Structure 1
Protein backbone atom coordinates (compact mmCIF):
# COMPACT_ATOMS: atom_id res chain seq x y z
CA UNK A 1 0.00 0.00 0.00
CA UNK A 2 1.11 3.55 -0.79
CA UNK A 3 2.49 4.89 2.49
CA UNK A 4 0.96 8.29 1.72
CA UNK A 5 -2.58 6.89 1.73
CA UNK A 6 -4.70 7.88 4.69
CA UNK A 7 -5.63 4.27 5.41
CA UNK A 8 -4.78 1.52 7.86
CA UNK A 9 -3.80 -1.70 6.08
CA UNK A 10 -4.97 -3.82 9.02
CA UNK A 11 -8.38 -2.12 8.99
CA UNK A 12 -8.79 -2.70 5.25
CA UNK A 13 -7.78 -6.35 5.62
CA UNK A 14 -10.27 -6.81 8.46
CA UNK A 15 -13.21 -5.60 6.40
CA UNK A 16 -12.01 -7.36 3.25
CA UNK A 17 -12.10 -10.69 5.08
CA UNK A 18 -15.78 -10.11 5.86
CA UNK A 19 -16.67 -8.72 2.43
CA UNK A 20 -18.79 -11.67 1.36
CA UNK A 21 -21.08 -11.10 4.36
CA UNK A 22 -21.94 -7.42 3.76
CA UNK A 23 -25.43 -8.14 2.42
CA UNK A 24 -26.35 -10.85 4.91
CA UNK A 25 -28.74 -9.04 7.32
CA UNK A 26 -27.97 -11.59 10.05
CA UNK A 27 -24.19 -11.31 9.72
CA UNK A 28 -21.67 -9.08 11.48
CA UNK A 29 -23.14 -6.25 9.42
CA UNK A 30 -26.61 -6.63 10.89
CA UNK A 31 -26.28 -3.33 12.81
CA UNK A 32 -25.60 -1.45 9.56
CA UNK A 33 -28.68 -2.95 7.95
CA UNK A 34 -30.78 -2.01 10.97
CA UNK A 35 -29.58 1.58 11.26
CA UNK A 36 -29.57 2.29 7.53
CA UNK A 37 -33.22 3.42 7.33
CA UNK A 38 -32.58 5.71 10.30
CA UNK A 39 -29.54 7.27 8.65
CA UNK A 40 -31.27 7.68 5.30
CA UNK A 41 -34.40 9.18 6.85
CA UNK A 42 -32.37 11.69 8.85
CA UNK A 43 -30.35 12.71 5.82
CA UNK A 44 -33.46 13.34 3.71
CA UNK A 45 -35.19 15.16 6.57
CA UNK A 46 -32.45 17.78 6.26
CA UNK A 47 -31.55 17.78 2.56
CA UNK A 48 -35.01 17.15 1.20
CA UNK A 49 -35.60 14.37 -1.35
CA UNK A 50 -32.39 12.94 -2.82
CA UNK A 51 -34.07 12.49 -6.19
CA UNK A 52 -31.81 13.99 -8.86
CA UNK A 53 -29.04 14.95 -6.41
CA UNK A 54 -25.37 14.09 -6.90
CA UNK A 55 -24.21 12.13 -3.85
CA UNK A 56 -20.84 10.78 -2.72
CA UNK A 57 -20.59 8.02 -0.11
CA UNK A 58 -17.09 7.94 1.39
CA UNK A 59 -15.97 4.63 2.87
CA UNK A 60 -18.99 2.93 1.34
CA UNK A 61 -17.90 -0.63 2.13
CA UNK A 62 -20.36 -3.09 0.61
CA UNK A 63 -22.71 -0.30 -0.45
CA UNK A 64 -25.58 -0.53 2.05
CA UNK A 65 -26.11 3.24 2.33
CA UNK A 66 -24.94 4.05 -1.21
CA UNK A 67 -27.46 1.65 -2.73
CA UNK A 68 -30.28 2.98 -0.53
CA UNK A 69 -29.57 6.55 -1.66
CA UNK A 70 -29.50 5.48 -5.32
CA UNK A 71 -32.88 3.83 -4.82
CA UNK A 72 -34.15 7.26 -3.74
CA UNK A 73 -33.25 8.58 -7.19
CA UNK A 74 -29.83 10.10 -6.44
CA UNK A 75 -26.81 9.80 -8.71
CA UNK A 76 -24.42 8.10 -6.30
CA UNK A 77 -20.70 7.39 -6.31
CA UNK A 78 -19.44 5.09 -3.57
CA UNK A 79 -15.72 5.04 -2.84
CA UNK A 80 -13.59 2.82 -0.64
CA UNK A 81 -10.08 1.37 -0.44
CA UNK A 82 -11.26 -2.16 0.38
CA UNK A 83 -11.32 -3.78 -3.05
CA UNK A 84 -13.24 -6.91 -2.02
CA UNK A 85 -16.00 -4.90 -0.40
CA UNK A 86 -16.36 -2.78 -3.54
CA UNK A 87 -16.67 -5.88 -5.69
CA UNK A 88 -19.45 -7.14 -3.43
CA UNK A 89 -21.16 -3.75 -3.67
CA UNK A 90 -20.92 -3.74 -7.46
CA UNK A 91 -22.26 -7.28 -7.75
CA UNK A 92 -25.19 -6.61 -5.44
CA UNK A 93 -26.18 -3.45 -7.34
CA UNK A 94 -25.97 -5.37 -10.61
CA UNK A 95 -28.09 -8.23 -9.29
CA UNK A 96 -30.69 -5.80 -7.94
CA UNK A 97 -30.76 -3.68 -11.08
CA UNK A 98 -30.03 -0.47 -9.17
CA UNK A 99 -29.63 2.55 -11.45
CA UNK A 100 -27.56 5.69 -10.93
CA UNK A 101 -24.90 4.00 -8.82
CA UNK A 102 -21.15 3.68 -9.41
CA UNK A 103 -18.23 2.52 -7.28
CA UNK A 104 -14.55 3.43 -7.40
CA UNK A 105 -11.43 2.23 -5.62
CA UNK A 106 -9.98 5.63 -4.72
CA UNK A 107 -9.12 7.61 -1.60
CA UNK A 108 -11.28 10.58 -0.72
CA UNK A 109 -8.21 12.83 -0.80
CA UNK A 110 -7.37 11.77 -4.36
CA UNK A 111 -10.96 12.24 -5.46
CA UNK A 112 -11.03 15.72 -3.91
CA UNK A 113 -8.09 16.73 -6.09
CA UNK A 114 -9.99 15.45 -9.12
CA UNK A 115 -13.61 16.48 -8.47
CA UNK A 116 -13.70 19.58 -6.27
CA UNK A 117 -17.16 21.01 -5.51
CA UNK A 118 -18.87 18.25 -7.50
CA UNK A 119 -21.49 16.86 -5.11
CA UNK A 120 -24.72 18.10 -3.56
CA UNK A 121 -24.42 15.68 -0.65
CA UNK A 122 -21.43 13.82 0.83
CA UNK A 123 -21.81 11.06 3.43
CA UNK A 124 -19.02 9.55 5.51
CA UNK A 125 -20.50 7.04 7.92
CA UNK A 126 -18.71 4.76 10.39
CA UNK A 127 -15.38 5.48 8.69
CA UNK A 128 -13.54 8.27 10.53
CA UNK A 129 -12.66 5.99 13.47
CA UNK A 130 -10.88 3.61 11.09
CA UNK A 131 -8.36 5.98 9.45
CA UNK A 132 -5.05 7.41 10.73
CA UNK A 133 -5.96 11.05 9.99
CA UNK A 134 -9.71 11.78 10.32
CA UNK A 135 -9.21 15.53 9.79
CA UNK A 136 -7.79 14.83 6.33
CA UNK A 137 -11.00 13.00 5.42
CA UNK A 138 -13.09 15.90 6.73
CA UNK A 139 -11.10 18.38 4.62
CA UNK A 140 -11.49 16.22 1.52
CA UNK A 141 -15.24 15.87 2.06
CA UNK A 142 -15.50 19.65 2.40
CA UNK A 143 -13.59 20.10 -0.85
CA UNK A 144 -15.85 17.66 -2.70
CA UNK A 145 -19.20 19.19 -1.74
CA UNK A 146 -20.69 22.12 -3.61
CA UNK A 147 -21.10 25.47 -1.84
CA UNK A 148 -24.32 25.22 0.14
CA UNK A 149 -24.17 21.42 0.04
CA UNK A 150 -24.43 18.95 2.90
CA UNK A 151 -21.77 16.71 4.47
CA UNK A 152 -22.82 14.01 6.94
CA UNK A 153 -20.54 12.17 9.35
CA UNK A 154 -21.13 9.44 11.89
CA UNK A 155 -18.59 8.04 14.32
CA UNK A 156 -18.03 7.02 17.95
CA UNK A 157 -17.48 9.28 20.93
CA UNK A 158 -14.39 8.74 23.11
CA UNK A 159 -15.27 8.38 26.78
CA UNK A 160 -15.67 5.58 29.35
CA UNK A 161 -19.32 5.02 28.43
CA UNK A 162 -18.52 4.50 24.75
CA UNK A 163 -15.74 2.06 25.67
CA UNK A 164 -18.22 0.10 27.80
CA UNK A 165 -21.04 0.14 25.25
CA UNK A 166 -19.29 0.10 21.86
CA UNK A 167 -16.45 -2.28 22.65
CA UNK A 168 -17.17 -4.31 25.78
CA UNK A 169 -20.92 -4.47 25.20
CA UNK A 170 -21.19 -4.64 21.42
CA UNK A 171 -18.13 -6.81 20.71
CA UNK A 172 -17.74 -9.02 23.79
CA UNK A 173 -21.08 -9.27 25.60
CA UNK A 174 -23.80 -8.91 22.96
CA UNK A 175 -21.51 -9.94 20.08
CA UNK A 176 -23.18 -7.49 17.73
CA UNK A 177 -19.79 -6.92 16.08
CA UNK A 178 -16.64 -9.03 15.65
CA UNK A 179 -14.05 -8.55 18.38
CA UNK A 180 -11.48 -5.99 17.32
CA UNK A 181 -13.89 -4.05 15.09
CA UNK A 182 -13.10 -0.84 16.98
CA UNK A 183 -10.04 0.62 18.65
CA UNK A 184 -10.92 2.93 21.52
CA UNK A 185 -8.00 5.28 20.94
CA UNK A 186 -9.38 6.12 17.48
CA UNK A 187 -12.77 7.22 18.76
CA UNK A 188 -13.48 10.94 18.21
CA UNK A 189 -15.12 13.36 20.62
CA UNK A 190 -17.83 15.57 19.09
CA UNK A 191 -15.80 18.65 20.04
CA UNK A 192 -12.85 17.29 18.04
CA UNK A 193 -14.98 16.54 15.00
CA UNK A 194 -16.68 19.93 15.25
CA UNK A 195 -13.28 21.62 15.31
CA UNK A 196 -12.13 19.67 12.23
CA UNK A 197 -15.34 20.64 10.43
CA UNK A 198 -14.93 24.34 11.26
CA UNK A 199 -11.34 24.33 10.05
CA UNK A 200 -12.50 22.72 6.79
CA UNK A 201 -15.20 25.35 6.23
CA UNK A 202 -18.16 23.22 7.28
CA UNK A 203 -20.78 24.64 9.63
CA UNK A 204 -22.39 22.21 12.06
CA UNK A 205 -26.13 22.23 11.44
CA UNK A 206 -27.51 19.31 13.49
CA UNK A 207 -26.40 16.38 15.63
CA UNK A 208 -28.07 13.14 16.63
CA UNK A 209 -27.16 10.17 18.75
CA UNK A 210 -27.83 6.53 18.02
CA UNK A 211 -29.32 4.40 20.80
CA UNK A 212 -29.83 0.64 21.09
CA UNK A 213 -32.02 -1.55 23.31
CA UNK A 214 -30.44 -5.03 23.67
CA UNK A 215 -33.72 -6.53 24.86
CA UNK A 216 -35.82 -5.43 21.88
CA UNK A 217 -32.76 -5.34 19.57
CA UNK A 218 -34.00 -2.02 18.25
CA UNK A 219 -32.06 1.09 17.26
CA UNK A 220 -33.36 4.65 17.22
CA UNK A 221 -32.07 8.21 16.86
CA UNK A 222 -31.86 10.18 20.09
CA UNK A 223 -30.39 13.32 21.63
CA UNK A 224 -27.73 11.29 23.45
CA UNK A 225 -24.41 11.64 21.59
CA UNK A 226 -22.33 9.96 24.29
CA UNK A 227 -21.65 6.79 22.26
CA UNK A 228 -22.62 6.75 18.56
CA UNK A 229 -23.37 10.13 17.01
CA UNK A 230 -24.08 11.79 13.67
CA UNK A 231 -23.18 15.26 12.40
CA UNK A 232 -24.95 17.19 9.64
CA UNK A 233 -22.79 20.00 8.30
CA UNK A 234 -23.08 22.48 5.44
CA UNK A 235 -20.52 24.24 3.32
CA UNK A 236 -20.99 27.97 3.11
CA UNK A 237 -22.72 29.08 -0.07
CA UNK A 238 -20.54 30.99 -2.51
Structure 2
Protein backbone atom coordinates (compact mmCIF):
# COMPACT_ATOMS: atom_id res chain seq x y z
CA UNK A 1 0.00 0.00 0.00
CA UNK A 2 1.17 3.52 -0.77
CA UNK A 3 0.09 6.85 0.63
CA UNK A 4 -1.01 8.14 -2.78
CA UNK A 5 -4.57 7.61 -3.91
CA UNK A 6 -5.14 5.68 -7.13
CA UNK A 7 -7.41 8.40 -8.49
CA UNK A 8 -7.26 11.16 -11.07
CA UNK A 9 -8.41 14.49 -9.55
CA UNK A 10 -9.65 15.62 -12.96
CA UNK A 11 -11.82 12.51 -13.24
CA UNK A 12 -13.27 13.01 -9.77
CA UNK A 13 -14.01 16.66 -10.55
CA UNK A 14 -15.65 15.67 -13.84
CA UNK A 15 -18.16 13.37 -12.18
CA UNK A 16 -18.65 15.65 -9.17
CA UNK A 17 -19.78 18.47 -11.46
CA UNK A 18 -22.51 16.20 -12.83
CA UNK A 19 -23.44 14.63 -9.49
CA UNK A 20 -26.86 16.27 -9.22
CA UNK A 21 -27.87 14.62 -12.51
CA UNK A 22 -27.12 10.98 -11.58
CA UNK A 23 -30.80 10.09 -11.10
CA UNK A 24 -32.15 12.22 -13.95
CA UNK A 25 -33.19 9.56 -16.48
CA UNK A 26 -32.76 12.00 -19.37
CA UNK A 27 -29.35 13.26 -18.29
CA UNK A 28 -25.84 12.27 -19.31
CA UNK A 29 -26.29 9.21 -17.10
CA UNK A 30 -29.26 7.88 -19.10
CA UNK A 31 -27.10 5.14 -20.71
CA UNK A 32 -26.17 3.80 -17.26
CA UNK A 33 -29.83 3.60 -16.30
CA UNK A 34 -30.65 1.89 -19.59
CA UNK A 35 -27.93 -0.77 -19.31
CA UNK A 36 -28.38 -1.36 -15.60
CA UNK A 37 -31.09 -4.05 -15.88
CA UNK A 38 -28.84 -5.99 -18.27
CA UNK A 39 -25.77 -5.93 -16.08
CA UNK A 40 -27.82 -6.56 -12.91
CA UNK A 41 -29.50 -9.64 -14.39
CA UNK A 42 -26.16 -10.91 -15.73
CA UNK A 43 -24.49 -10.60 -12.32
CA UNK A 44 -27.46 -12.13 -10.52
CA UNK A 45 -27.63 -14.99 -13.01
CA UNK A 46 -24.01 -15.98 -12.36
CA UNK A 47 -23.95 -15.38 -8.61
CA UNK A 48 -27.44 -14.81 -7.15
CA UNK A 49 -27.02 -11.78 -4.93
CA UNK A 50 -30.06 -12.09 -2.66
CA UNK A 51 -28.86 -12.13 0.98
CA UNK A 52 -25.23 -11.78 -0.19
CA UNK A 53 -22.79 -9.17 1.08
CA UNK A 54 -21.88 -7.09 -1.97
CA UNK A 55 -19.33 -4.32 -2.53
CA UNK A 56 -19.75 -1.91 -5.45
CA UNK A 57 -16.40 -0.27 -6.21
CA UNK A 58 -16.67 3.09 -7.96
CA UNK A 59 -20.39 3.24 -7.24
CA UNK A 60 -20.90 6.85 -8.34
CA UNK A 61 -24.46 7.93 -7.66
CA UNK A 62 -25.51 4.40 -6.73
CA UNK A 63 -27.42 3.19 -9.80
CA UNK A 64 -26.13 -0.39 -9.63
CA UNK A 65 -25.69 -0.46 -5.85
CA UNK A 66 -29.30 0.58 -5.24
CA UNK A 67 -30.64 -2.01 -7.69
CA UNK A 68 -28.59 -4.80 -6.10
CA UNK A 69 -29.92 -3.82 -2.69
CA UNK A 70 -33.45 -4.04 -4.07
CA UNK A 71 -32.60 -7.61 -5.12
CA UNK A 72 -32.02 -8.40 -1.46
CA UNK A 73 -28.25 -7.94 -1.20
CA UNK A 74 -26.54 -6.16 1.69
CA UNK A 75 -24.64 -3.56 -0.35
CA UNK A 76 -21.78 -1.19 0.39
CA UNK A 77 -20.95 1.30 -2.34
CA UNK A 78 -17.58 3.05 -2.27
CA UNK A 79 -16.24 5.95 -4.31
CA UNK A 80 -13.95 8.96 -4.00
CA UNK A 81 -16.34 11.45 -5.62
CA UNK A 82 -17.85 13.15 -2.57
CA UNK A 83 -20.79 14.82 -4.33
CA UNK A 84 -21.80 11.65 -6.15
CA UNK A 85 -21.83 9.74 -2.86
CA UNK A 86 -24.06 12.38 -1.26
CA UNK A 87 -26.47 12.02 -4.17
CA UNK A 88 -26.42 8.22 -3.71
CA UNK A 89 -27.13 8.57 0.02
CA UNK A 90 -29.96 11.02 -0.59
CA UNK A 91 -31.53 8.77 -3.20
CA UNK A 92 -31.41 5.79 -0.83
CA UNK A 93 -33.24 7.85 1.79
CA UNK A 94 -35.84 9.11 -0.66
CA UNK A 95 -36.39 5.68 -2.23
CA UNK A 96 -36.41 3.86 1.11
CA UNK A 97 -33.58 1.52 0.13
CA UNK A 98 -32.49 0.36 3.58
CA UNK A 99 -29.85 -2.28 2.90
CA UNK A 100 -27.38 -0.08 1.03
CA UNK A 101 -24.68 2.11 2.56
CA UNK A 102 -22.03 4.34 1.03
CA UNK A 103 -18.49 5.28 2.03
CA UNK A 104 -15.87 7.64 0.65
CA UNK A 105 -12.88 5.30 0.55
CA UNK A 106 -10.60 3.85 -2.12
CA UNK A 107 -10.66 0.21 -3.14
CA UNK A 108 -7.08 -0.20 -1.95
CA UNK A 109 -7.82 1.26 1.50
CA UNK A 110 -10.93 -0.88 1.78
CA UNK A 111 -8.91 -3.96 0.89
CA UNK A 112 -6.43 -3.22 3.68
CA UNK A 113 -9.30 -2.71 6.12
CA UNK A 114 -11.60 -5.59 5.22
CA UNK A 115 -9.94 -8.37 3.19
CA UNK A 116 -12.07 -11.37 2.17
CA UNK A 117 -15.23 -9.72 3.48
CA UNK A 118 -17.62 -9.78 0.52
CA UNK A 119 -19.41 -12.53 -1.38
CA UNK A 120 -19.57 -10.42 -4.54
CA UNK A 121 -17.56 -7.39 -5.68
CA UNK A 122 -18.60 -5.27 -8.66
CA UNK A 123 -16.45 -2.68 -10.43
CA UNK A 124 -18.35 -1.33 -13.41
CA UNK A 125 -17.37 1.51 -15.76
CA UNK A 126 -14.59 2.55 -13.39
CA UNK A 127 -11.27 0.98 -14.42
CA UNK A 128 -10.87 3.25 -17.44
CA UNK A 129 -10.97 6.29 -15.16
CA UNK A 130 -8.10 5.48 -12.76
CA UNK A 131 -4.32 5.83 -13.21
CA UNK A 132 -3.57 2.22 -12.18
CA UNK A 133 -6.40 -0.21 -13.03
CA UNK A 134 -4.29 -3.23 -12.03
CA UNK A 135 -4.20 -1.89 -8.47
CA UNK A 136 -8.00 -1.74 -8.36
CA UNK A 137 -8.28 -5.28 -9.74
CA UNK A 138 -5.88 -6.51 -7.05
CA UNK A 139 -7.89 -4.71 -4.35
CA UNK A 140 -11.12 -6.27 -5.61
CA UNK A 141 -9.51 -9.72 -5.51
CA UNK A 142 -8.42 -9.09 -1.94
CA UNK A 143 -11.86 -7.91 -0.86
CA UNK A 144 -13.82 -10.91 -2.12
CA UNK A 145 -14.10 -14.09 -0.09
CA UNK A 146 -12.53 -17.32 -1.40
CA UNK A 147 -15.00 -18.75 -3.88
CA UNK A 148 -16.62 -15.34 -4.33
CA UNK A 149 -17.18 -13.45 -7.58
CA UNK A 150 -15.75 -10.21 -8.94
CA UNK A 151 -17.43 -8.50 -11.90
CA UNK A 152 -15.80 -5.86 -14.09
CA UNK A 153 -16.99 -3.80 -17.03
CA UNK A 154 -14.98 -1.39 -19.16
CA UNK A 155 -14.28 -0.37 -22.78
CA UNK A 156 -11.91 -1.98 -25.26
CA UNK A 157 -9.06 0.02 -26.80
CA UNK A 158 -9.17 -0.17 -30.59
CA UNK A 159 -10.32 1.92 -33.56
CA UNK A 160 -13.89 0.64 -33.43
CA UNK A 161 -14.21 1.49 -29.74
CA UNK A 162 -12.73 4.94 -30.38
CA UNK A 163 -15.23 5.64 -33.16
CA UNK A 164 -18.29 4.29 -31.32
CA UNK A 165 -17.64 4.94 -27.62
CA UNK A 166 -15.86 8.29 -27.94
CA UNK A 167 -16.53 9.96 -31.30
CA UNK A 168 -20.04 8.55 -31.68
CA UNK A 169 -21.33 8.54 -28.12
CA UNK A 170 -19.68 11.76 -26.94
CA UNK A 171 -19.34 14.00 -29.99
CA UNK A 172 -22.01 12.93 -32.50
CA UNK A 173 -24.89 11.53 -30.46
CA UNK A 174 -24.19 13.48 -27.24
CA UNK A 175 -25.05 10.40 -25.20
CA UNK A 176 -22.21 11.23 -22.81
CA UNK A 177 -20.42 14.49 -21.92
CA UNK A 178 -17.46 15.21 -24.17
CA UNK A 179 -14.25 14.10 -22.52
CA UNK A 180 -15.90 11.34 -20.47
CA UNK A 181 -13.39 8.81 -21.83
CA UNK A 182 -9.76 9.14 -22.87
CA UNK A 183 -8.63 6.70 -25.53
CA UNK A 184 -5.28 5.91 -23.94
CA UNK A 185 -7.01 4.87 -20.70
CA UNK A 186 -9.24 2.28 -22.37
CA UNK A 187 -8.38 -1.34 -21.59
CA UNK A 188 -8.10 -4.29 -23.95
CA UNK A 189 -9.65 -7.57 -22.72
CA UNK A 190 -6.21 -9.20 -22.87
CA UNK A 191 -4.87 -6.52 -20.53
CA UNK A 192 -7.72 -6.88 -18.06
CA UNK A 193 -7.38 -10.67 -18.19
CA UNK A 194 -3.68 -10.29 -17.33
CA UNK A 195 -4.52 -8.03 -14.39
CA UNK A 196 -7.04 -10.62 -13.16
CA UNK A 197 -4.55 -13.48 -13.42
CA UNK A 198 -1.92 -11.47 -11.56
CA UNK A 199 -4.46 -10.81 -8.79
CA UNK A 200 -5.37 -14.50 -8.50
CA UNK A 201 -8.78 -14.23 -10.15
CA UNK A 202 -10.03 -16.85 -12.61
CA UNK A 203 -11.91 -15.52 -15.64
CA UNK A 204 -15.17 -17.49 -15.93
CA UNK A 205 -17.24 -15.56 -18.47
CA UNK A 206 -16.93 -12.62 -20.86
CA UNK A 207 -19.81 -10.70 -22.38
CA UNK A 208 -20.07 -7.82 -24.80
CA UNK A 209 -22.61 -5.02 -24.46
CA UNK A 210 -24.17 -3.80 -27.72
CA UNK A 211 -26.27 -0.73 -28.47
CA UNK A 212 -28.54 0.47 -31.28
CA UNK A 213 -28.58 4.30 -31.04
CA UNK A 214 -31.69 4.58 -33.20
CA UNK A 215 -33.90 2.25 -31.18
CA UNK A 216 -32.00 2.90 -27.91
CA UNK A 217 -31.93 -0.84 -27.35
CA UNK A 218 -29.09 -2.59 -25.51
CA UNK A 219 -28.28 -6.29 -25.47
CA UNK A 220 -25.53 -8.70 -24.44
CA UNK A 221 -23.62 -10.99 -26.80
CA UNK A 222 -20.13 -12.38 -27.35
CA UNK A 223 -18.73 -9.32 -29.14
CA UNK A 224 -16.21 -7.66 -26.79
CA UNK A 225 -14.84 -5.24 -29.38
CA UNK A 226 -16.27 -2.15 -27.64
CA UNK A 227 -18.05 -2.44 -24.26
CA UNK A 228 -17.45 -5.67 -22.37
CA UNK A 229 -17.83 -7.33 -18.98
CA UNK A 230 -15.81 -9.96 -17.11
CA UNK A 231 -17.09 -12.43 -14.52
CA UNK A 232 -14.15 -13.62 -12.44
CA UNK A 233 -13.89 -15.82 -9.38
CA UNK A 234 -11.47 -16.06 -6.50
CA UNK A 235 -10.59 -19.75 -6.17
CA UNK A 236 -12.09 -21.45 -3.12
CA UNK A 237 -9.79 -21.95 -0.16
CA UNK A 238 -8.08 -25.33 -0.12
CA UNK A 239 -8.01 -27.48 3.00
Shared fold (TM-score, shorter chain, > 0.5) = yes
> 1:14 aligned to 2:10?
no
**1:40-59 to 2 correspondence within 5 Å?**
40-48=40-48, 50-59=49-58
Q: Deviations over 1:104-136 (max 9, x none)?
A: 000000000000000000000000000000000
**1:74-89 to 2 correspondence within 5 Å?**
74-89=73-88
What residue ranges of structure 2 are gaps of 5+ in the alignment?
A: none
| Alignment partners' CA distance in 2, 1:215 and 1:190 | 27
What residue ranges of structure 1 are gaps of 5+ in the alignment?
A: none
Aligned residue number for residue 126 of structure 2: 127
| Alignment partners' CA distance in 2, 1:51 and 1:191 | 31
Q: Deviations over 1:77-128 (max 9, x none)?
A: 0000000000000000000110111000000000000000000000000000
| Alignment partners' CA distance in 2, 1:52 and 1:27 | 32
Q: Deviations over 1:40-99 (max 9, x none)?
A: 000011002x11100000000000000000001100000000000000000000001101
3-state secondary structure, aligned to 2:225: coil
Aligned residue number for residue 141 of structure 1: 140
Shift of residue 3, structure 1, vs aligned partner? 7.0
Q: Pairwise CA RMSD of aligned residues?
A: 0.9
Q: Deviations over 1:170-219 (max 9, x none)?
A: 00111100000000000000000000000100000000001000110111
Deviant stretches of 4+, over 2 Å: none
| Alignment partners' CA distance in 1, 2:3 and 2:43 | 34
| Alignment partners' CA distance in 2, 1:175 and 1:102 | 32
| Alignment partners' CA distance in 2, 1:215 and 1:84 | 33
TM-score normalised by L of structure 1: 0.98
Aligned residue number for residue 192 of structure 2: 193
**1:113-192 to 2 correspondence within 5 Å?**
113-192=112-191
Work out the number of aligned pairs and report it: 236
| Alignment partners' CA distance in 1, 2:73 and 2:131 | 30
